[in-house]
Structure 1
Amino acid sequence: MNCDMKRSISLYSYQDEYYDGKLDLEGCLRETAKTGATGVELLAEQMIKKFPLPIETEEFREQWFGWLEKYHLTPSCYDAFLENRIFDNRTLCLGEQINMMKRDIRLASLLGFHNLRTLVSTPMEVIEGSLAYAQQMDVRIGLEVHAPFSLNSGWADGYMEMIHRTGTKYFGFIPDMGIFCRNIPDVVRDKARRMGASEACIRIVDDSYAERLAKGFTKIKYDLNLGKANMEYRMANGMKEMMDAIEQANGNDADRWYANASFTYSWSDPQDIIDNIDYIFHTHAKFYNMHDDYTETAVAIPEVIEAFKKAGYKGFLSSEYEGGEHLRDIGVNSIEQVRRHQEALRAAMEK
């Protein structure tokens, strides 16, 4: 069955090749085009040297749009970071944070983006204070729904209330497919083994994750103190019991690392996509390891794509490779990983 979804790539996926000097910004765009993707997601602070100054120049923008034309790419999403701790002695005040958000909205617009990703750490009042400017610049602000957060939760309800209260069409959600993990990624497990984790403790962690999946994850609550909210989430999902079992099995630092890492992943019902489709305009198609048969053993790609189809989603699914950080000690091939993932997305979309 054909659908109107489009494929994009977040240049975050190519970070290892970029930092190793194998790819420059144009090279990342060239590799994106080779996969058949038609959209590009940009982390300007990561990929544009001396950010944000070059974006202000006509010379850079002419080069940027020239590349997009050359490789037949559309700007899909601009990833912003609200750096509210730029001073050692204080956090930026509300007005300063809103001005920083407005700066990022303007930069996104200058580069042709109509969607901007902001992080879950962005205070709601900063988003609300930026909505009028977002509408003026025709750039929608999307809050990334990254594990352990989830749609259809008390955490998301506060943002939904703000959407309904303001009537805005310029704020919504950007789900990250890391919230649809049926298993802990195999690259994480293999890294734990290389670090010295025992098979007994790996089994304890994997069984604990499977138990969370079977029972249903207790969802994280909204709290401005994300550290507190995250710890409460972990404890509600069996962290103490799992850590106690690891200690009883004489676990070491690698075992404890794997146990803590397991809470980086979570499972949400793909029905959440269907229920919230009116507020979703971009998606991070997170993945961790694509095998040579085009399967991803953690993220439930077919189920999630099917939910997007049922919902009538017409936005981009943007490949976001996050397995490389677990392979740097043995070698990363992001280009091949992204190619495989794009092929898996294409096949699932066209099924």
Structure 2
Amino acid sequence: MGHQIKRGVSLYSFQNDTFLRKMSLEDCIRTCAEIGATGIEVVGEQSFTGWPEVGMPMAEIAHWHALMEKYGTHPVCHDFMLDYKRVKGQMMSFADQVASVKRDIDFGAALGMPCIRALVSISPEVLVACASYAEDKGIKILIEIHAPLHFDHPWIVRHAEAYEKSGSKALGYLPDMGMFLHRFPRVWKQRFIRNGVPQHIADHIEKAYEDRVLSEYVLLDVREMGGTGPSLAMAETLRHNAAFEPKRMLEFMHRIHNIHGKFYEMTEDDVEYSIPYDEIVAVLKQGGYRGHICSEYEGNRWVEDAEEVQSVEQVKRQHRMLCRLLDETMPAALKA
């Protein structure tokens, strides 16, 4: 194949199914194994009862390891939160933030994770303070580079400078492929129209996005067109999304250890409607990326008002695409 890129799934992709009790943790892991996506990423709060409020759920952790062995899967990443502004309505102290991150390092280590995902809002100073602890646990802390941020955003530059100054190999990046939203997602537009956006305003916003018009100008246009409520909300999405270039990852590849394979709609032809995965995978190959691309399906929230969410089918379609782009033999479960 000439590369060492591996396929995985963030179980966040199955959030509707798990919330509605249609899929258990075992169902999710079995589904991933069947399609050859053996790397498993989790959001602790979604997959482990009561975490982090009730402490380390040892019985569920043991069950997790049993499932890894049963299905031949392996841990990739624990996505942790740091609600540093929500403790008794006050900002957590620096020391408390560090202690909270260390707690998630311990949880990731207990799950056998090589990486944990840090929210992009966490300050670089907090993560640098945790770096040596993470090194001792064999964990890499990866800040998620998530739209509207990107590798040249001043906040991410601060992180990059702090990581290099620290000299720690435990600090890195987890780029979310939603940074590379080259078309306005069709499922977004359809949902906004169902929410009351007039067709001509929805068409204008979509065209403006594809023409890369500054979001503030688009908002002004929508107001002048008489748009209110849902129309302004649709226009606001332009503030939070952009079509950055995948090749920008190359400079940072030495610290990229996991990829969020964000997607909103896989078509029947196994192509993501709005994100150019052919370009993305080519860049990852060029840069010698050696980690996982973990599916992260977020189209569910855009279609659930109108139809049953087909998370498993959408994930399967993405992995058919990834098999093609990664020159992999397609598992039988993906051919069905």
Aligned counterparts of 1:271 and 1:327: Cα–Cα separation in 2:
31
Please tell me whether the aligned partners of residues 54 and 60 of structure 1 are also in contact (alpha carbons under 8 angstroms).
Answer: no
Aligned counterparts of 1:56 and 1:189: Cα–Cα separation in 2:
42
Question: What's the CA shift for 1:325?
Answer: 0.7
Please tell me whether the aligned partners of residues 48 and 54 of structure 1 are also in contact (alpha carbons under 8 angstroms).
Answer: no
Question: What's the CA shift for 1:312?
Answer: 0.9
Question: What's the CA shift for 1:53?
Answer: 7.0
Question: What's the CA shift for 1:24?
Answer: 1.3
Aligned counterparts of 1:323 and 1:206: Cα–Cα separation in 2:
17
Instruction: Specify the code of the residue in structure 1 equivalent to 2:64.
Output: W
2:332 corresponds to: none
Instruction: Specify the code of the residue in structure 2 equivalent to 1:314.
Output: R
Question: What's the CA shift for 1:58?
Answer: 4.3
1:344 corresponds to: 321
Aligned counterparts of 1:23 and 1:304: Cα–Cα separation in 2:
31
TM-score using structure 1 length? 0.89
Residue 293 of structure 2: SS of its match in structure 1?
A: strand
1:312 corresponds to: 288
- The gaps in structure 1 that reach 5 residues or longer are 213-236
Please tell me whether the aligned partners of residues 184 and 210 of structure 2 are also in contact (alpha carbons under 8 angstroms).
Answer: no
Classify 1:28/1:292 alpha carbon distance in 2 versus 1 (closer, same or farther; 3 Å).
same
Instruction: Specify the code of the residue in structure 2 equivalent to 1:5.
Output: I
Aligned counterparts of 1:86 and 1:156: Cα–Cα separation in 2:
23
Instruction: Specify the code of the residue in structure 2 equivalent to 1:263.
Output: R
60-69 vs 307-316, greater mean Cα deviation? 60-69
TM-score using structure 2 length? 0.93
1:90 corresponds to: 90
Please tell me whether the aligned partners of residues 79 and 118 of structure 1 are also in contact (alpha carbons under 8 angstroms).
Answer: yes
Classify 1:58/1:197 alpha carbon distance in 2 versus 1 (closer, same or farther; 3 Å).
closer
Question: What's the CA shift for 1:85?
Answer: 2.9
Question: What's the CA shift for 1:89?
Answer: 3.1
Aligned counterparts of 2:275 and 2:244: Cα–Cα separation in 1:
11
2:48 corresponds to: 48
Count how many residue pairs are aligned between Structure 1 and Structure 2: 327
Alignment of 1:158-169 (within 5 A): 158-169=158-169
Identity score, percent: 29
Please tell me whether the aligned partners of residues 200 and 249 of structure 1 are also in contact (alpha carbons under 8 angstroms).
Answer: no
2:188 corresponds to: 188
Question: What's the CA shift for 1:26?
Answer: 1.3
- The gaps in structure 2 that reach 5 residues or longer are 329-336
Question: What's the CA shift for 1:14?
Answer: 0.1
Q: Which runs of 4+ in 1 moved over 4 A?
A: none
Please tell me whether the aligned partners of residues 184 and 265 of structure 1 are also in contact (alpha carbons under 8 angstroms).
Answer: no
Question: What's the CA shift for 1:57?
Answer: 5.0
Classify 1:2/1:24 alpha carbon distance in 2 versus 1 (closer, same or farther; 3 Å).
same
Please tell me whether the aligned partners of residues 44 and 78 of structure 1 are also in contact (alpha carbons under 8 angstroms).
Answer: yes
1:250 corresponds to: 226
262-271 vs 73-82, greater mean Cα deviation? 262-271
Please tell me whether the aligned partners of residues 79 and 118 of structure 2 are also in contact (alpha carbons under 8 angstroms).
Answer: yes
Q: What is the CA RMSD across the aligned residues, in angstroms?
A: 1.6
